[in-house]
Structure 1
Amino acid sequence: MTPPFAVTGSVLTHPPARLRRQAAIAVATIVGLVLVGFLLRLTEIDVAASAALHHLREGALRSTAEAFYLALKPMPAAIIMLAATAAVAGLTRSWRPAVVFLGAVAVTWGSAEAVKVVVGRPRPGMSEAAMATIGRAADASFPSGHVAFTAAFVAACVCLAWGTRWRSLVIAMGAVLVAGMTAAVVIEGVHYLGDAVASLVWVAGEFPAVRGGWAVAVARVDAGMRRRRARRVV
């Protein structure tokens, strides 16, 4: 019986033809966004727009933003990532896409969190109402880890579903999730608008290289395992 998501030809596990180019783009993204982070920290040019969006925190919009933010705090996000990895292994009946899925999401998300330490942009002054429901954010602000995780997770899901009939549905649902989280972190007042947008740029620049690197590594490990099995048979 054919697995729901065929491994052969999957964009997720397919080694890229231009990994060096993707790696160069990733490095440029790191350098560029770190510089942007320091610029935003010094000038705060996005503060007014961020405050305007935070003022929309009323009624149903407030409840929706809270739900988005609380659902993907670091611990729930890690659990979702691990559960999704197990689901990928089950759907594809292979360890290869599961490892690439986990590695691509974890490294893209984790490296964005590391940039926070480098840039050290302070969080916005959260309102008492927001802190009462979602708590105080203690780490640095730039870029948004929530948005980085959501975008990386969606990118991995799209790669997995690319060659299947589920592709359009996954893209549509993913776009809603990413847009919703991007708006939620600003509306809740836990991030500036620049932090959220920077996370989207981060994932766009980093994810292809990270996924490609994991795909190459997994393909080499798999090839080595196959050679060892072949030698045992002979």
Structure 2
Amino acid sequence: MTPPPVRPGSSLVDPPVHPRRSVVVAVATVISLVMVGLLLRLGEFDAAGSAAVHHLRGGPLGPVAEVLYLALKPLPATLTMLAATGAVAGLTRSWRPAVVFSGTIAVTWGSAEAVKLVVDRPRPGLSEAAMATIGRAADASFPSGHVAFTAALVAVCACLAWGTRWRSVVIVLGALLVVCMAAAVVIEGVHYLGDAAASLVWVAGVFPAVRGGWAMAVARMDATLRRRRSHRVV
């Protein structure tokens, strides 16, 4: 018997299998990365490697890194998220995947930005050439919001495509995009290597709990709406 086709977004709204485990991992990730961030702030153990990567800005990778960085600054990233949410709603013809999609990105990305306030690691010293094209970053450095947003976006897109024939394409292209963004922020000199790496760990540890929480919340909302509709019909 042929199994029924998987609708896009079904894996995104599925309730978590081990919700408590996801929460424990998320909490451990938050505590661990805050400690690592404070350690890097004191020692700057990744400064030399970051400076070496930043030197690549003078080569052919510089313009590519600049375009990637400017394309996903906070305002363009927010607009990208909203546009993608609309596309998800149209693709799935349901509000549930769209809400989980945008909510998961917003919380995963926003919580990473909040950690910057706690760690308060200063940005690397930008060259005059870099400041002239991308401007001066006013917030703290650890972790990278650009990388956190990109990784969260790719993760929800992978969940959206899970079980469909597009899964492999989304995972491969998404992983490439995340790697390119992580390299771009260091090449541009706006982040240290540790900032970019921390964002990857952040999303890996926090994303499952955030997605699961949104999935459960949306399922309850949907059940409540269905009950109200049934009561009205009766």
TM-score tier after normalising by the smaller chain length: over 0.9
Q: Do structure 1's residue 167 and structure 2's residue 167 form an aligned pair?
A: yes
Paired position in structure 1 for 2:48? 48
Tell me the CA shift for residue 183 of structure 1.
0.1
Paired position in structure 1 for 2:106? 106
Give me the TM-score of the superposition, normalised by structure 1: 0.96
Paired position in structure 1 for 2:179? 179
Tell me the CA shift for residue 229 of structure 1.
1.1
Distance 1:180-1:5 versus aligned 2 partners, 3 A rule: farther
Q: Aligned residues: percent identity? A: 74
Structure 1 stretches of 5 or more lacking a match? none
1:96-136 deviation per Cα after TM superposition (whole angstroms, max 9, x unaligned): 00000000000000000000000000000011111111111
* 8 Å Cα contact 1:5/1:92 also seen in 2: no
Structure 2 CA distance, aligned partners of 1:232 and 1:121? 55
Paired position in structure 1 for 2:97? 97
Aligned length: 230
Tell me the CA shift for residue 59 of structure 1.
3.2
**4+ aligned runs moved over 3 Å, structure 1:** none
Paired position in structure 1 for 2:58? 58
Paired position in structure 1 for 2:68? 68
Give me the TM-score of the superposition, normalised by structure 2: 0.96
Three-state SS of the structure 2 residue aligned to 1:11 is: helix
* 8 Å Cα contact 2:108/2:203 also seen in 1: yes
Paired position in structure 2 for 1:81? 81
Paired position in structure 2 for 1:6? 7
Three-state SS of the structure 2 residue aligned to 1:12 is: helix
1:72-99 deviation per Cα after TM superposition (whole angstroms, max 9, x unaligned): 0000000000000000000000000000
Q: Do structure 1's residue 227 and structure 2's residue 207 form an aligned pair?
A: no
Tell me the CA shift for residue 7 of structure 1.
5.3
Structure 1 CA distance, aligned partners of 2:6 and 2:87? 11
